[in-house]
Amino acid sequence: MILELRDIRKSFGSKQVLDQVSFRAEGGKAFGLLGRNGAGKTTSIRILMDVFPADGGDVLIDGQPIDYRKVRIGYLPEERGLYPKKIIIDQLAYFAELKGMNHKAAVKAADYWLERLGMAEYRNKRLDTLSKGNQQKIQLITALAHNPDIIILDEPFSGLDPVNAMLLKDVVKEQIAMDKVVLFSSHQMSYIEEFCDSIAILNSGRIALHGDLHDIKRNYVRDRLVVRTEYPENIIADFGGQCSRIDDCSLLIQLAAPEEKQSVMQRLTAAYDIDEVKVFEPSLNDIFVEYAGNHTDKEDRQ
């Protein structure tokens, strides 16, 4: 299954929130939708989920306009919250039923997930008797119980302890392996890097960058080298302004041109005591700051 948003436009009043937003997410892979606060991520998700219509553009599944009666979507919103005073199994079954399951199947699915996430003992308790982390796991069940084709997880790891984060990672990997479209939205870049094959960065309602994460990294100009050594001083003295420190044992060397890469690498390994030398590839964090940062700063200042 391929989910595609094509040329989506949306404005609230005079404010244009989304402008020609297009991206593509494939089944069996995780997709990261990134952007700063107010960049238009939630609006994109809401349009994708048919909470409100776009002013223009299409939401497509395998090239055809999406049919919400056939495609099931699971959603874990960033703003968490369910019915605090209601019994957990009642509300889990209710949400699954709203997504099209019959009552019996909904209860069965909810029970499966309660067991899977180690929450079975809370089945008949009220939600507000649970800790925040456990409430979050209950909320995750509302996104998964109805066996959705598309899973949208907005900041799924926030508020989880390392053990629960590991549990969630396993669940997400399981869902990806089941050929589902998993769409992540998060500011925790490490998780996105770990899971997502492709990303889109939204900046002030426009797609600033979109594509395969590996390709994006490789397409950066390969004119910098990262050197790890116990004796950085010698290299700094020789390379002068070309060289900057990353930390105590690591240096970044700026090349005059990417073609110099091989010769400089040979020179470094021949002349100095080097533990490691490699071409610098930006982290997702660097890419994010580059593509999502400046524009919005400018707008904020305005």
Partner 1 sequence: MTQFGKILKFELKYYFKNKIFVGVTIFLVLVIAAVMFFPRIAGAFTKNKQSDASSELPVMLIKTDSPELTEQIDGAFGEAFTEYQVQPTSDSDNVIQDMITSDKAECAFVINDMTSYTYYVNNLSMYDQNTAVADSVLQNLFRMNAMVSAGIPVEQAGAMLSLEINHQTENLGKDQMQNYWYTYIMIFALYMVILLYGQMVATNVATEKSSRAMEVLITSAKPAAMMFGKVIASCLAGLVQLISVFGCAILFYSLNKEYWGDNPIVASIFDMPPGLLVYMLIFFVLGFFIYAFLYGAIGSTASKLEDINTSVMPVTMIFIIAFVVVMYSFGSGNVDNMLMKLCSYIPFTSSMAMFTRIAMSTVPWYAVTASIAILIVSVIGIGVLSAKIYRVGVLLYGTKPKFGAILKAVWKA
With CB under 8 A as the rule, give the number of residues binding partner 1. Answer: 25
236 binds partner 1 (CB under 8 A): no
Shorter beta-carbon distance to partner 1: residue 102 or 269: 102
Which of these ranges, 45-53, 259-267, 271-279, 291-299, lies near partner 1 under the rule CB under 8 A? 45-53
DSSP string, 244-282: EEEETTEEEEE-SSGGGHHHHHHHHHHHS-EEEEEE---
162-178 burial code (b ≥16 CB/10 A, e <16): eebbebbbebbeebbee
Which residue of 36, 41, 99, 210 would you call a contact of partner 1, by CB under 8 A?
A: 99
Tokens 């400046």, residue located = 294
97 binds partner 1 (CB under 8 A): yes
Site string for partner 1, 194-233 (x = CB under 8 A): ----------------------------------------
38 binds partner 1 (CB under 8 A): no
CA distances in angstroms from 97 to 80, 83, 108, 111, 147, listed in the order given: 20, 16, 11, 14, 12
Which of these ranges, 28-36, 43-51, 191-199, 273-281, lies near partner 1 under the rule CB under 8 A? 43-51
Shorter beta-carbon distance to partner 1: residue 183 or 208: 183
Which residue of 20, 102, 254, 263 would you call a contact of partner 1, by CB under 8 A?
A: 102
Which residue of 37, 63, 67, 81 would you call a contact of partner 1, by CB under 8 A?
A: 81
CB of residue 186 to partner 1, shortest distance in Å:
17
133 binds partner 1 (CB under 8 A): no
67 binds partner 1 (CB under 8 A): no
Q: Can you point out the beta strands (E) in the chain? A: 2-12, 15-26, 30-35, 56-61, 64-65, 73-76, 150-154, 181-185, 196-203, 206-212, 224-229, 243-247, 250-254, 274-279
What's the angle, vertex CA 153, arms to CA 16 and CA 78, rounded to 5?
A: 65
CA distances in angstroms from 175 to 24, 145, 208, listed in the order given: 18, 12, 28
Which residue of 1, 60, 82, 226 would you call a contact of partner 1, by CB under 8 A?
A: 82
CB of residue 220 to partner 1, shortest distance in Å:
37
How far, in Å, CA of 133 to CA of 151, rounded? 20
Tokens of 244: 């900057």
Which residues are near partner 1 by CB under 8 A? 12-13, 46, 49, 51-52, 73, 75, 77, 79-84, 86, 90, 94-95, 97-99, 102, 139, 142
